[in-house]
Structure 1
Amino acid sequence: MRKIILIFFIALQSGSLYAQQAKTPDQIYGQLFVDVQMQNVLKDGKTFVDCEPKRSPKLILQDYIRLRKSKGFSLKDFVANNFVFPDTNTTVAVTTNQSVVQHINDLWTGLERVPSGKVANSSLLNLPYPYIVPGGRFREIYYWDSYFTMLGLKASGKDEVIENMIRNFAALIRQYGHIPNGNRNYYLSRSQPPFFALMIDLLAQIKNKEVYITYLPYLEKEYAYWMDKSAATKHVMTMPDGSLLNRYYDQLNIPRQESYKEDVLSAGEAGNQNPGLYRDIRSAAESGWDFSSRWFSDGTQLKTIQTTQIIPVDLNCLLYHLESTLQKSYAAKHNTAKEKLYRNLAQKRKQSIQKYFWSARDQWYTDYNYKTKQKSAVLSLAGMFPLFFNIADQKQAQLSKVTLEQKFLRAGGLSTTLHNTHQQWDAPNGWAPLQWISVTGLENYGYSDLAKNIAIRWVDLNTRVYRSTGKLMEKYNVVDIHLTAGGGEYTSQDGFGWTNGVLLGLIRKYNLPE
């Protein structure tokens, strides 16, 4: 244990971007942090890092070191006496015969958080405007979740909340140079799938195209972060033909503060086989797909995780869209030189996406392994992103449609992958954002019948679970539709931001019964 702790604290000093920020709970509480997490005192490792101290952390730590070996000492009681536990209440009462749409409209209030004064030594990053959280243990704003949540807010007529959330993300970019995973300081070492440009598209639909000019500086800064221009974040990879594509890459190689014990145990299983395991785990968290067979070298076990070797198809499609949005924004400003620059960058990336991600053998877009220089054998719904962004040609879209229908379509919607590894981003689980990406991608190429079929299955499953439990879940089992979902390192959460958003969006899109 001493060796793990020593390596841990040495590593904390290595992330320059990370070290510039306010101290995180692991840095503040040292041995107390390690003991609380490793002894599973609060059941969920995220609880402690979200706690607020009742008094000076220095005095708390001093008292802990002095008392911890005394007879009858209770670590659980010590934590309860010295910390304020975070609020997880997002429950909204379900009245008899209330439709799921009415429930969601009521639920927005329970999921909304308003700015509050900065609390000393809290991990929470203050935001200037009200925002929506996903729900459950996810009690802060999350980056890519928020786009799909906004789809529902738009359907509910909550345009001001959407703009406030975008303003918050702009504030994060301004202050930290990127949008972190969530507004906690222990998330600052990574971002999440870059959906900010899509949020700007949504806001432009609500207001006008001037928003592209308003938010252009923030789109530029987001792009600089992902392209290693603002700092050497190592997200950019030079491909065999000299073109540039991107990967996920967390800035630290230490256990995640919010899942410390789980990561330490995973490192123990891996032994010395993967010295970058912590970074690969963190980088999977940056992908939003934590965890999935997409990232495993053996396709099954977390200990073989290799996220930083994978060039992901979905990330590069999102960056293609960001480049295209920058092109559009500079066109709105009549800056022809910059417009041409980003048009060329987007076109080059589109060509690389076709070259490195389309698998003629699988008739599907897959990830690319930079180390082996091979396309991944794992098929996942990330392969629908080229259809969502109109990158695929008609023939590729037709082949993808057939593969989707034959391999991914289940009773409750679309399965995330074809592998059941007991990880949450694998079969038999379905996730709201991937249903939306897939349905929209099919519609883009004229496959409306299949798109509506998927939407109906997903809406029916969500509604069935709601009627039996009074809740909307983070994810669902699309194979056995009498279950919700399972897998992963925490219990299934209810709330739930992006489920609400996609469900409302699909009901409105296809005029489905509530």
Structure 2
Amino acid sequence: MKLFFLKIKIFKQFLLILCFFGISHQLFAQTETFKLKVDSAFERLIAVADTDGDKKITVEDDPKMPFLIPHSQGDSVAIREIYYLSNLLQELAVARAQNKDSVEISIDRIKEPPTQRISRRIETQFWDDLTRTIDRKGIQKILRDTKASDGVQRLYVPATDTSGIRYYKDLQQELSGFEVVVLPEKITPQYVKSINDKPGLLALKIENDRGVPFVVPGGRFNEMYGWDSYFEGVGLLIDGRIDLAKAMVDNFVYQINHYGKILNANRSYYLTRTQPPFMSSFVREVYEAMEVKDEAWLREALNAAIKEYEQVWMEEGERLTGNGLNRYYAQGIGIPPETEKGHFNEVLQEFAEKYGLKVSEFVEQYQSGTIDAPEVDEYFLHDRSLRESGHDTSWRLENRAAHLNTVDLNSLLYKYEKDFEFLIDEYFDEHFTTSAGKKYTDDYWEEKAETRKALVNEYLWNEQDGSFYDYNFKTGEQTKYISATNFYPLWSGLASEAQAERMVPQLMQDLKAQGGILSSAKSSVEKTATNDVQRQWDYPYGWAPHQMLLWQGLLDYGYEEEAYELIYRWLWMITKNAVDYNGTIPEKYNVVDATHKVYAEYGNVGTEFDYITTSGFGWMNASYQLGLELLPKQYRERLNELVTPKNAGF
């Protein structure tokens, strides 16, 4: 009789284990949810499964026994798989952060399919965790800057924002160690250099005594970035967060009106630098997502976008070059202050030797203005312009960025012109008058776009290679550097059908890797690099914005098979890394090896966390949501099973 009951108990435990791994049995329907003591379960789980002690449960751990979840009937469910153990750890970490003594966790949550889990957490947790406001409620979360060596937390406010000055001056009285600085009306490179040792945050829009919210990329990037914001906005719109995406456009309008540009990011050392222009696309996509159209909002946003186009991009001798095309051109004096000490030592060694100085001595004298070194000034003009391009850094732009009419920038400005044409035609009866009284028609912008297309084809298109390349207007030559940015004309609609037919096979041949689209071709890096430093916007790395733009471009031109393959590769890589490494969603990937383990300059933001990532990374989150939105549903189950691209038929 004892043997009989022992067999029954063993059989019940066996069924519970099967239930956990997806085989249900009506006898144990009540075991779908377990109540756990948070601290004790957490400590037991870490002891069993985090064998390398890195405060994560990953495939690099080697648990010697399963983790047992006790059941009220005296039985236990054994959890063995790393992914399930990791999910349980994350659920317990959330409960600990909420100071809960006990928590109910469902088996369904522990064994949640990975694409569903990642997407759900992006939609319901990550966006909120990345949202900031610069007001009484939110300022402490964003104000701190590791570069503020004197311990004072500063906020710089535009002289033209009188209500903002009043609000923040009042707030200054309430907070210790907080200083409000009113900027001069005219911002010069000399002024920006003068405050490099007093860095601070730049104010954004205040409305009804509350800061207008925005999303930050994550990690050490705790401010509103220019082009990141557009891609984050794409993800927000997919997840139904229209108000937050609209608020980010409102902050861009504020930046254009008060700082004269969309900032690289809202920190004081970025005052003379913008980023790749996506304002027109952001405005158009937010407006089209509105259930109730707010024409007054569209008018204000379109007015600001045209102002940015004219004042930032079309000033000849600055970002507009003599041939009618555009370049990145970031003004400034000296070494970019956001870089870590010693970052440029190898470059500056050569110049220091010319002056018979140690590098540290040369840097000190150059920064103080004691040494006049035009060749060093030019190097840093290119470096700042490279950073303005968003591609910091890449051998494509090294020591020549300010001399290049780049494919990406001119494609983006073509998109501006086409968006302006569309918006004025569709919503303003073919005529639009700016707040400054300047009148525009849709035909005007159509002509601007056609003029740019002709110039791009003249200078940037290579008929022999069937490719667009950046054009060096100083040397009069194309760079022939193979980069993902060469394919932006697919996204902007600038390429002809015949050009696309030649470009797409090259994209798949030169830039397709195991985990998606490479930033650049290995062959181009090998021909151009002057040392062995791996630049993060080059081979073997891949980035979310390139994927998102080229997926959409391929689909727009009818190349669905290629688009779906590239989407699948990217989502498979993200999903597999999240499954294997405790939910990690980082800034970038090595797409050749399909891993988040990156050994390039600046490391990989989003990989350093304890027990659970609460935010992922802004545009990476967006790329995941967009990929799932675009990919046919039959592929999702293959992703959940981590079927490799090859075995998925690609």
TM-score (norm 2): 0.60
- Is contact 1:485-1:492 (8 Å) kept? no
Shift of the 238–113 alpha-carbon distance from structure 1 to 2, 3 Å rule, reads same
Q: Return the alpha-carbon distance in structure 2 between the equivalents of residues 435 and 335 of structure 1.
A: 34
Counterpart of 1:102, as a letter, is R
Out of 211-220 and 98-107, give the one that drifted further.
Answer: 211-220
Query: In structure 2, which of residues 274, 289, 293 is the aligned counterpart of residue 191 of structure 1?
Result: 274
**Matched residue SS, 2:201:** coil
Shift of the 115–365 alpha-carbon distance from structure 1 to 2, 3 Å rule, reads same
Shift of 1:460: 0.5
- Is contact 1:411-1:478 (8 Å) kept? yes
Partner of 1:237: 321
Counterpart of 2:345, as a letter, is L
Shift of the 402–177 alpha-carbon distance from structure 1 to 2, 3 Å rule, reads same
Q: Return the alpha-carbon distance in structure 2 between the equivalents of residues 270 and 425 of structure 1.
A: 25
Q: Return the alpha-carbon distance in structure 2 between the equivalents of residues 217 and 426 of structure 1.
A: 36
How big is each residue's C-alpha offset from its partner over 1:16-74, in whole Å with a ceiling of 9 and x where there is no partner?
xxxxxxxxxxxxxxxxxxxxxxxxxxxxxxxxxxxxxxxxxxxxxxxxxxxxxxxxxxx
How big is each residue's C-alpha offset from its partner over 1:317-343, in whole Å with a ceiling of 9 and x where there is no partner?
111111222233433333546223222
- Is contact 1:465-1:471 (8 Å) kept? yes
**Matched residue SS, 1:251:** coil
- Is contact 1:226-1:233 (8 Å) kept? no
Whether 1:400 and 2:484 are equivalent positions in the alignment is no
Matches within 5 A, 1:9-28: none
Shift of 1:468: 2.1
Q: Return the alpha-carbon distance in structure 1 between the equivalents of residues 338 and 549 of structure 2.
A: 29
RMSD: 2.2
Partner of 2:262: 179
Whether 1:412 and 2:541 are equivalent positions in the alignment is no
Where in structure 2 are there 5+ consecutive unaligned residues? Answer: 1-92, 96-108, 137-167, 169-177, 181-198, 206-211, 352-372, 432-438, 526-532, 608-615, 641-650
Whether 1:120 and 2:179 are equivalent positions in the alignment is yes
Partner of 1:148: 231
Out of 139-148 and 420-429, give the one that drifted further.
Answer: 420-429
Q: Return the alpha-carbon distance in structure 2 between the equivalents of residues 486 and 201 of structure 1.
A: 38
**Matched residue SS, 1:120:** strand
| Percent identical | 30
Shift of 1:266: 4.9
Partner of 2:310: 224
Partner of 2:412: 318
Whether 1:371 and 2:477 are equivalent positions in the alignment is no
**Matched residue SS, 1:362:** coil
Q: Return the alpha-carbon distance in structure 1 between the equivalents of residues 334 and 381 of structure 2.
A: 7
Whether 1:293 and 2:395 are equivalent positions in the alignment is yes
Q: Return the alpha-carbon distance in structure 1 between the equivalents of residues 590 and 393 of structure 2.
A: 16
Shift of 1:429: 0.3
How big is each residue's C-alpha offset from its partner over 1:384-432, in whole Å with a ceiling of 9 and x where there is no partner?
1111111111121011111011111111001110135510000000101
Out of 103-112 and 400-409, give the one that drifted further.
Answer: 103-112
Whether 1:168 and 2:251 are equivalent positions in the alignment is yes
Where in structure 1 are there 5+ consecutive unaligned residues? Answer: 1-91, 297-304
Matches within 5 A, 1:264-279: 264-271=344-351, 274-279=376-381
Partner of 2:491: 388
Q: Return the alpha-carbon distance in structure 2 between the equivalents of residues 97 and 358 of structure 1.
A: 51
TM-score (norm 1): 0.75
Whether 1:473 and 2:582 are equivalent positions in the alignment is no
**Matched residue SS, 1:247:** coil
Q: Return the alpha-carbon distance in structure 1 between the equivalents of residues 565 and 496 of structure 2.
A: 23
Partner of 1:30: none
Shift of 1:464: 1.1
Query: In structure 1, which of residues 438, 441, 456 is the aligned counterpart of residue 553 of structure 2?
Result: 441
Structure of larger gyration radius: 2
Shift of 1:228: 4.3
Shift of the 236–364 alpha-carbon distance from structure 1 to 2, 3 Å rule, reads same
Shift of the 458–320 alpha-carbon distance from structure 1 to 2, 3 Å rule, reads same
Partner of 2:573: 461
Shift of 1:493: 3.7
**Matched residue SS, 1:279:** helix
Q: Return the alpha-carbon distance in structure 2 between the equivalents of residues 482 and 214 of structure 1.
A: 43
Whether 1:333 and 2:428 are equivalent positions in the alignment is yes
Whether 1:254 and 2:316 are equivalent positions in the alignment is no
Partner of 1:504: 625
Shift of 1:485: 2.8
Partner of 1:78: none
Q: Return the alpha-carbon distance in structure 1 between the equivalents of residues 346 and 318 of structure 2.
A: 24
- Is contact 2:264-2:270 (8 Å) kept? yes
- Is contact 2:414-2:449 (8 Å) kept? yes
